Amino acid sequence: LACKVTRCSTTTSALTVYFCGTGVATNRDLVLGSGRKSPTVGTDTFRKYLSCRFDEGVKKGSHHRSVYRLGVGCKDSMAGMSHVWVVVAQPDGNFYWLQSFISHYSLATWMKKKDSSTKSGVAGVLTFDELMGKLDGLERLMSINAWTDEANRDYQDLFNVDKNLESVSWRSKKWTEDSRLVLFSWDEACEYPAGGEHDAAGDGEDGSEC
């Protein structure tokens, strides 16, 4: 998987095509109108679903290979804070946190990033508890009333970008509530592989109670 792009939305689309196929990768396009797949909103719903799926996997001895598309945004579309990325659940209970960030790094660079704070030693491979910790940081960011050093650390830990080192134009811009991340959305794009074909999540019965 050698994605050279840096725009986060393009990387997310490319990853969805890779894991799920073109049909799934385009099932949220606006041009589909009422036929497009709608994401679920809220970190609480994502936590609950992930916890349920993880507990099922522990009981069965193997976890679902699920691909999740995640996104977070703010009211000010020009604030440079919004982001989209992909989390891929692995059968061993770990999770790939896959992303890029325009003008900062590509997916290939991200996948090589070391991180001594994770059990795997790399930034893009997380345990379930480490993934929950990422959501803790995201929720803190979504509740801030000012841009602080802690907020900057959380943003950097999540998305590998130090906003305090951004361009002068970003640093000199007064932070407002419209710059705060307020909307988190997610969906389970697919489970891979499925009978040799890439099936959209929810197309078949897998016995899950989640």
Q: What is the pLDDT along the chain (210 residues), one digit of tens a residue?
A: 545 557 899 999 999 999 999 988 888 766 566 667 888 999 999 999 999 999 999 999 999 999 999 999 999 988 889 999 999 999 999 999 999 999 899 999 999 999 999 999 999 999 999 999 999 999 999 999 999 999 999 999 999 999 988 755 555 567 789 999 999 999 999 999 854 444 556 544 566 889
The pLDDT, as a whole number, for residue 48 is: 97
Residue 38's pLDDT is 86
pLDDT, residue 7, reads: 85
The whole-number pLDDT of residue 195 equals: 46
Please tell me the distance from the alpha carbon of residue 77 to that of residue 144, in angstroms, as a whole number. Answer: 18
Per-residue exposure over 27-53, b if at least 16 CB sit within 10 Å of its own CB, e if not? bbeeeeeeeebebeeebeebeebbeeb
Contact 110, 130 (CB under 8 A): no
Which amino acid is located at 64 in the chain?
H
Phi, psi of 40 (to 5 degrees): -95, 145
pLDDT for the residue 32: 60
Strand partners, 85: 70
pLDDT of residue 5: 55
Query: Exposed, middle or buried, 76 (CB in 10 Å: 0-12/13-18/19+)?
Result: middle
Q: Using alpha carbons only, what angle is made at residue 98 by residues 97 and 103, rounded to the nearest 5 degrees?
A: 130
3-state SS, residue 42 = coil
Sequence-separated (6 or more) residues with CB below 8 Å from residue 129? none
Model pTM?
0.88
Distance CA 147, CA 77 (A): 17
